[in-house]
Amino acid sequence: MPKQKKPKETPKQQAARFAAEVERMKAAGELNPTEADNALDKLLSSVKLKNDHTS
């Protein structure tokens, strides 16, 4: 049985759906912007350190 294709969304509809899901996750405690920022900073600093050692 072939997969069902998702209905086409305009970029505006997709952005609205994404924003609504982000808000739902924040309200449920599944998404913490501060933790996400810290994790990204840690990841980027480890990549920078690796790149500095290979130069």
Asked if residue 15 belongs to a domain, the reply is no
How distant is the alpha carbon of residue 41 from its chain centre? 14
The number of folded domains in the chain is 1
Give the model's pLDDT for residue 11: 92
Domain coverage including residue 27: 20-54
- pLDDT tens-digit readout, 9-29: 899 999 999 999 989 998 998
Asked if residue 5 belongs to a domain, the reply is no
Asked if residue 3 belongs to a domain, the reply is no
Portion of the chain with pLDDT greater than 70, in percent: 85
Asked if residue 14 belongs to a domain, the reply is no
Helix/strand/coil for 29: coil
